[in-house]
Structure 1
């Protein structure tokens, strides 16, 4: 963040320095100058346009500044004789401080020679950086959380990392939302993944926290991005390198409720680079319970009441394996390819499930059940990308391809026990194998305009072909060992295919006006065709094609002292993923049925945002306000069925508005102790737009959440970090979701010249269990449920790096595909969840 402050403030410093130089020239004397050359520490090449800022020695008082020319040469004037510190910085490099520069005269040059900057992406062992590296970086269109500096997540997964990111909220089940909306797009290294497409929740659990370098929260995506994501885009940047040599890293961790093991290796020889790695994570002892009460008002005004209670248990096993290669054909042509495999096996069970049915407070039936849910999948992503650069700096052409496939196998079995629980009356089984395939071709052009290249024109085209298939059936078996027989009911057994073709083109233009203003307008057009069919029906599902214009506008202004104000507008389209479309009737809970709607339309959202960032001394504060308006919102429609069943499906009947703010601060108290925290608050209004009093619903209210993170460096390479997060009650269309909180602490020690790390962590160590209460209220339904999760965890983490890489060449910019156009399901779910697309 210091580099960003320096960069912005120098626009003012330059003009001041220039006036001083002109004034001394008029007086016929040559002012004193500090001169030097900014160079890359490894290649020795000059760094054009690096910035230099002069400070009074030992203080934060900025005296003057300058910008290097195309050969890396810079000079600074306008200072009196004295002792100064010089800070030289450039985007992508560590800021270097040259201390104790003596200026003994008002005239003449002080030549400090070459100033060597180290690439910030590759912190070499030989370089010692003093003080705490900042966790948060603000840019015009995004907030970046530097996860590699957060040691409390060691041994955890992507969910643990995202809980620490400003503007994001992650509940106890791992469901992610941004500013109160779960309709977000998650990318991994700037590209979609079949793993994330199936379930954002489970994708995050497959990514080890130790492999995440940063998380980028993009609240106002430009026209270059697909038009999905009501709230925006989350890009998870993993650790990777382009160094010479070979290196391997092994890491493992074990805890009360989970263990993990990972091995990654990298090699680079000349123009070839390779990466190979794997990671496995097992979760166990994840126990809990739930209670549910639902009251249905019948047509004769009598009341049907159902009470449910059960003990719950879940186990999971995740794996992620990857192989990547890149090749530099020549100075201007590059090829990259990658193959990623993912597996996910998850089981959930409900034991001692007691169901009691009442009619007008009279007990009419008691039933004992057991429920077992299996959710397994495997995925593969294959990408091949070609990038061509030119002599003209910044000009680029990229051809990107991606093939993704996800195979899912989902099933649930309800076992109905006898009244004395000594025998099995019958079993009801639902099988839902499914498959998603996707092939994408994308062509992007970047062309800097003008003499200095400050204006950038971006344009391109993209085509996505998707094929999804769901085969679903119900089976019944009598007794404990009876043979399963398919249910002949056509509503319970069928197959469904869904083919979608999205063709898009975009143009975006970025330019700087009056030095301190930046404007970035863009327009994107997407045309979608859909073909959907049920296998056991002769007529297809009629879904018309549609086209959508998606405008965007980003504005920013640099203020004094490095402050920045920015404003943005964009429109987003959210196509329903197969989580909402899949017609498989999910009856894993026999009193709560859920079924998708294949005829859903997309929803449209207009987003407005205003943000301001300010800096003083070692503190950064960022404020932002937003307004979000969604029409045609996809909302659940709940109706009573057969007295004791709540049936849920989806329709485009919702209208959502949200007004909110986010306040974030980062404080470096000294070079050993730092704090950062944030508060998110918004007021939500939801309305399903129906006039029938039996189904009309609306709700509104405030939602507030906050987080606090602290870091303290101890002597002898010890470090301690602590984190806490809390979210209040969340407003929903037909009720609310209860609030929750969590916290964690970690301590670690580096050894063997920082090649190895060993640490201990504890999560929720003072809380035996968490309770979350949810409520649904409609004119005919009142439902209250309480979910309990035992989430206390203790863990030991260990990692060690073998070998060493040395930087031989500048890393090449890698391009990758972003498919961001579906209303995804960060929410957990069974069966239908596996049918989601990117």
Structure 2
């Protein structure tokens, strides 16, 4: 426990020394260079003969506050000149100080900061400050007073953090509303996430994976209420401690938690023209034991779309044109229920356990009118009414144990079992040109994704400036997919179509991994973190019809290195690593998704993983009240998993899209971000993501010979946000962004814009609040234009989304809480290891995977 407090204090002290523009120190502008703690190898503070000593004491209990942080500032320049951490008796000493005028800041998590002003030192003086009293900053709910606001964006050594709990406009929405506002990320209007133009990412929820994410990132995000998200962490250069999966990077979504003593209950809800939500969350803690129980339900409705598809397929003898229009609606309900327990055996040992169930029921209804032309002459016309059902139920169960021996030395064992039952079906009425019912069709596709994970991690300091981390992990995963097509006339029973459109896939994937990571800080304050990770994957893949598919086992060695240095207030970071991207569930699924028979998608169970090498250079600096960050990056991917489209061999005019290991991708870009704290209550942010991508791979000519094609170009994106709080509990937030068309091997997916504004009124005692938010209110619809082209076909697909929305939200807090010392809980399992593939943009949802977090 003390080790955790010491680590937290050290982090807080470093952050304090690096941020002199604090609200309580007016006029202290400019970027202060962090000073090393006295006695460390990096201590370069001015040497003198004066000394300051004192004791940090809890004002209510009279007990020492061990490991509180102490920072010393020069009153003239406003810069931090020295700092230290109190010992386990609350005592601190600042020695070898030069004569001058100083200001002392004492801080610790759970307490109000204490400032001692007008300290004057002379050479040789030993100043005894005696007891410095810290008072708790946690009170009963009706007595809390919030002054100022935390930064919306924070940059840490290995990640960028978006503080989503400051987002008042997204209340009543879901996680996609939050992620759209996170720098470096792009979320399209279907909910598919990409990082710096790459969809090969890992997504974790509270540091843990889940098979619900493995099935579909887009669907999983819709099941997380926006107002339950505390932070979103974006990790672009993971160390060896992370799973090797996720070539584009790692996203970790942290939901709100409660570590206070007592009982509390929160009720949140919202109602709007396109969705409603209600959640209930309770926490109870007494002594060493804590319990959490919660659940929420969300419904979406009145989401309308129009589609306009024009495509041409060519052979050596004929050309077929397809013109299709469609209209439809999407509706669905989501639920998530959880029960958690944690217990502290001693100050240094704890156990955490939990079970969570998530469910979704989504229905997408589409009406298509399709016309086929040959040489400009109409040859057929048909209508198709389709209901696509995407149903799933997910169970996650975990047990985690943590033993802390001393500061920064700890051992943990974590386990996780996750199971996802996914049903992805469609039912279609086939109509003639005059609207008469001519037949019916069904596609039944049931998937089961199970995995069990066990891992062990150990870390220990080596001297004061080195840290060693080692660990091992095993993942046992099994995917089953059973699919078939059924056909019936206008009346009567369905029968199986006997043309190869029925089958089953069993895919066993077991992974054994181990890693070693080493961190070293030099005397001149360079920090290096290097490591090596090895993962071996064992695969047994077979179909019911064809037997073993012959997918071989493989191993991969994944090196990584990160370095950082602060020079005259500018922090420079370098990172290099190799990542592996395994294919996701639906990329492997051989079922043909033909809800729209003119636009068919199909997985490939023989896919191999792709390998990516990443390089990045980051620069950041705080200039008075403005934080600026620029990151330049390069990404090189071979054996890339890409979508390849070509005309169907059996269905006239149709285009079939499959996944293949034939791509080569090179990406170079820059991410720019600036955050201005205009006042202590107003933040303004601006960001831009610009990169140049080049993709090359094999496709077919008209005569079915292979040819190499290349697609390249710039992909721009950017946006701005404003977050403000005012007197009497009022708050306002606005956001707007434009995101360029994403590059594909054979074309581009559509660009789009998104904007939202929200206002909230909170009661004086913080027990309840009311809010109103609106999105895309200036336009009736968005047009997403997707284009594909090759020697065999051309396709233009316009999707019009009617998502102008408004919603009213409310929140109610009940209960009485009292403060307790911060506790460190057992770690959880993080499986950072399956590729995300997104959706097809208009037919059935295409399950994907994602995520990641340090392991």
Contact 1:173 1:828 in 2 (8 A): no
Which of 766, 769, 785 is equivalent to 1:754?
Answer: 766
Relative to 1, partners in 2 of residues 1:21 and 1:170: Cα closer, same or farther, differing over 3 Å?
same
- Higher mean C-alpha displacement, 134-143 vs 282-291: 134-143
C-alpha separation between the residues in 2 aligned to 1:232 and 1:553?
A: 15
The aligned residue for residue 638 of structure 1 is 645
- 8 Å CA contact 1:37–1:74 kept in 2: the answer is no
Secondary structure at 1:788 match in 2: strand
1:661 is the counterpart of 2:678: no
Match of 2:692 in 1: 683
* 1:579 counterpart (574, 577, 586): 586
| Alignment partner of 2:623 out of 616, 639, 648 | 616
Q: Report the 3-state secondary structure (helix = DSSP H, G, I; strand = E; otherwise coil) of the residue aligned with 2:691.
A: strand
Aligned length: 815
| Residue 559, structure 1, aligned to residue 570, structure 2 | no
Q: Deviation of residue 230 (structure 1)?
A: 1.1
Which region of structure 1 is more displaced relative to structure 2, 246-255 or 589-598? Answer: 589-598
CA contact (8 A) 2:601 2:840 kept: no
Q: Of 407, 430, 433, which residue of structure 1 is paired with 2:421?
A: 407
**TM-score (norm. length: structure 1):** 0.92
Residues 467-616 of structure 1 aligned to structure 2 (within 5 Å):
467-479=478-490, 481-489=491-499, 491-537=500-546, 539-561=547-569, 563-616=570-623
Partner of 2:67: 48
How far apart are residue 634 of structure 1 and its match?
Answer: 0.8
Shift of 1:743: 0.7
User: In structure 2, do the counterparts of structure 1 residues 21 and 496 end up closer, same or farther at CA, with 3 Å as the change threshold?
Assistant: closer
CA contact (8 A) 1:159 1:205 kept: yes
- Give the 3 Å change call, closer, same or farther, for CA 737–308 of structure 1 in structure 2: same
Query: Which residue, 132, 136, 139 being the options, matches 1:114?
Result: 132
* RMSD (Å), alpha carbons: 2.6
Give 1:462's aligned residue.
473
* Gaps in structure 1 of 5+ consecutive residues: 26-30
1:815 matched residue in structure 2: 827
Q: Distance in 2 between matches of 1:744 and 1:86?
A: 43
TM-score, normalization by structure 2: 0.91
For residues 796 and 44 of structure 2, the distance between their equivalents in structure 1, rounded to whole angstroms, comes to 69
What is the CA distance between 1:248 and its match in structure 2?
Answer: 0.5
8 Å Cα contact 1:247-1:801 kept in structure 2: yes
| Equivalent-residue separation in structure 2 for 1:679 and 1:584 (angstroms) | 39
- Tell me by how many angstroms 1:137 deviates: 1.4
- Provide, for residues 530-586 of structure 1, a one-character-per-residue CA deviation record: whole Å limited to 9, x for no partner: 11122234x31111111111111111112233x311101111111111211111111
CA displacement, residues 124-173 of structure 1 (integer Å, 9 cap, x when unaligned): 77564532311111111111111112212111111111111110111111
* Residue 47 of structure 1: how far off its partner (Å): 4.0
CA contact (8 A) 1:12 1:560 kept: no
Match of 1:794 among 806, 820, 825: 806
SS of structure 2 residue aligned to 1:151: coil
Counterparts of 1:54-93 in structure 2, within 5 Å, are 54-56=73-75, 61-62=78-79, 64-70=81-87, 71-75=90-94, 85-89=103-107
Whole-Å separation in 1 of the counterparts to 2:455 and 2:44: 46
**Counterpart secondary structure, 1:809:** coil
Relative contact order higher in (CA < 8 Å, ≥ 6 apart): 2
Report SS of the residue matched to 1:228: coil
CA shift for structure 1 position 116: 2.3
Alignment counterpart, residue 214 of structure 1, candidates 222, 231, 236: 231
CA distance in 1, matches of 2:297, 2:579: 36
| Residue in structure 2 matching 1:648, options 647, 657, 660 | 657
Find the counterpart in structure 1 of residue 457 from structure 2. Answer: 444
Unaligned runs of 5+ in 2: 1-10, 19-32
Distance 1:633 1:81 in 2: 61
Alignment partner, residue 298 of structure 1? 315
Please say if residues 179 and 187 of structure 2, whose CA atoms lie closer than 8 Å, have aligned partners that are also in contact: yes
Judged with a 3 Å threshold, the aligned counterparts in structure 2 of structure 1 residues 104 and 595 are, in CA distance, closer, same or farther, namely: closer
**Hey, what's the Cα distance between the residues in 2 that align with 1:62 and 1:2?**
17
Secondary structure of 1:716's aligned partner: helix
Change (3 A) 1:50 1:19: closer
- Within 1, Cα distance between the matches of 2:130 and 2:145? 21
Distance 1:97-1:644 versus aligned 2 partners, 3 A rule: same
The 2-side partners of 1:277 and 1:403 are apart by 20
